Amino acid sequence: MKNNLITQAIYLPIYYFGTVIIGSLFAKNYSQVGQQVSELAINENKIAGIILTIGIFITGVSLVLFGIGLLIKFKKQFLISSFLITLFGISFLCGAIVSIGSPWHSLYGLPMSILLLPFASLYEMEKKKASKLTMNVAIIVTTIIFLYFWDLLAVKFVSFDYRGLTQRIFGMALFTWFSYSAYKLSKQEIGNNN
C-alpha cells in the first residue's frame, strides 16, 4: 500500500499535461504558448474547463498521496519533502476548487514553497547517498523553477505573450522531478543506496 502511494506519482506528468492538452482541444481561442493553464478553466467552452478542473483535482490528490506515501514508507527521513509535496498538492486542490482571480486559487502564493523541494529531497537523501544523476537533475529542476518564479514575480524578462510557454517549461521540469523521484523512491528500501 505505502509503495503504491509513491508509485502512482510516477504518472503525475500524464495526469497534469494530459488533461491540459485534452481540455485545450475543446477550448475556443486558447493558446498553449500565450495563456496559463488556469485560463483554460474560464474558457467560454465549458467542457474545456471541466476537463482541466478534473485533471488539476486528480493531480492535487496524487501529490497529497505521494507526500503521505513518503511519510508512511520513510518515516521522518523525508519529512520536509513530504510536507512540501503535500502543500503543493493542497494548492492544486484549491486551484481546482477556486477559480482564477481569487488569492485562494493559489493559496496566496503557497506553490512557491516548491522551490525548496529538489534540494530538500537531496538533503534528506544524504544518508542514502544520492546518485550523481539525481543531484544533477535536482540542480537543473531547481534552476528552472527559480528562473520561472524570478521572471514571473520580478524581472519580467520573458514577454507576457509567452507566459503559457514558460509555465509549461516550469511544469515539465517540476513534474519530471516528481516522476523521477517517485520512481527512484518506490524502488528503494530503507537503508539501501539511491
In this predicted model, what pLDDT tens digit does every residue of 68-103 receive, in sequence order? 999 998 888 889 889 999 988 988 888 888 766 666
Least confident segment among 49-53, 91-95, 131-135, 188-192: 188-192
**CA gap 23, 66 in Å, rounded:** 25
Look up residue 179 and give its three cell numbers. 516522476
Tally of residues, the chain? 194
In a domain? residue 65: yes
- On whether residue 122 sits in a domain, the answer given is yes
Q: How far apart are alpha carbons 178 and 132 in whole angstroms? A: 17
pLDDT tops 50 at residue 191: no
pLDDT at 37: 82
> Has residue 8 got a pLDDT over 90?
yes
**Cell numbers of 61, please?**
490528490
Residue 191 lies in a domain: no
30 pLDDT more than 60: yes
Residue 124 vs residue 149, higher pLDDT: 124
Tell me if 47 is assigned to some domain.
Answer: yes
Evaluate if residue 150 carries a pLDDT over 80: no
Mean pLDDT of 170-182: 87
The count of domains in the chain is: 1
Report the 10 Å Cβ neighbour count for 68.
17
123, 127, 128, 130: CA torsion to nearest 10: 40
Q: Is residue 113 part of a domain?
A: yes
Contact (Cβ atoms closer than 8 angstroms) between residue 114 and residue 88: yes
| 192 belongs to a structural domain | no
Does 79 fall in a domain? yes
What would the mean pLDDT of 106-127 be, rounded to a whole number? 72
Residue 184 has pLDDT above 90, yes or no: no
Q: Which domain holds residue 35?
A: 2-186
DSSP assignment of 27-46: -SS--TTTS-GGGGGGSSSH
Return the higher-pLDDT residue of 167 and 159.
167
The answer to whether residue 90 sits within a structural domain is yes
SS3 90: helix
